[in-house]
Amino acid sequence: MSSFQPPEIRFSDTPVAYPDAVAFMEARVQDIIDGRARECIWFLEHPPLYTAGTSANPADLVQPDRFPVYASQRGGEYTYHGPGQRVVYLMLDLRTRGRDVRCFVRQAEDWVIQTLEDFNLQAHVTPGRVGVWVPHPNSAGQRENKIAAVGMRIRRWVSFHGISINVEPELSHFDGIIPCGIRDQGVTSLVDLGLPVSMAELDKALLDNFETAFARLDEA
């Protein structure tokens, strides 16, 4: 029998300022490393803002004065966060989950894909592009739309940052950046695709799919 405790599930009902979210994650990750706290999965939204990952190109910030811009220690480039987008921060202990960062990122992508399948949406990853994608309407396969972003940081085998899924954000807010440095593709959302999924419905599907998406090593 495994004695691992399940992760704490946290929900924030009002938008969380980005610096406050980072401060919480920093403290929680250190507590997990030190054995003072269990893993945590945090469901939240942010007010409108842009974040610059560790690979961000300043030229991809098209409208620097539109929303606050925060440097982020997560991997990746520029992304947008705002109301109508579900952000899920994953503070998970990879010491009990295989110590394989690439596998962990694939698990996060698969988690999103499995969840979207619950709403009859066939999403996928595309080689050479980060995130989760769906076909662009009427493009004959030449273009895709991004529906979810994935950006992680690992500290001493504990993860933080995580994923974001576009439920019903204001898609024009993405115009202030070149999302993830990809200029020739689009951005979409569940509602934009004609799927009136509520945040609560998405959250339930994410939680239902979590255990199958993320494997944990059994105790010896």
Residue positions annotated with a catalytic role: 180
CA 72 distance to own-chain centroid: 13
- Decide the pairing of beta strands 144-155 and 158-166: antiparallel
Which CA distances in Å does 146 have to 131, 188, 190? Answer: 7, 6, 11
Tokens of 96: 């009990």
Non-local CB neighbours of 21 within 8 Å, separated by 6+ positions: 42, 44, 46, 89
Tokens of 203: 């959250």
Closest CA to 39 of 112, 1, 88, 90: 90
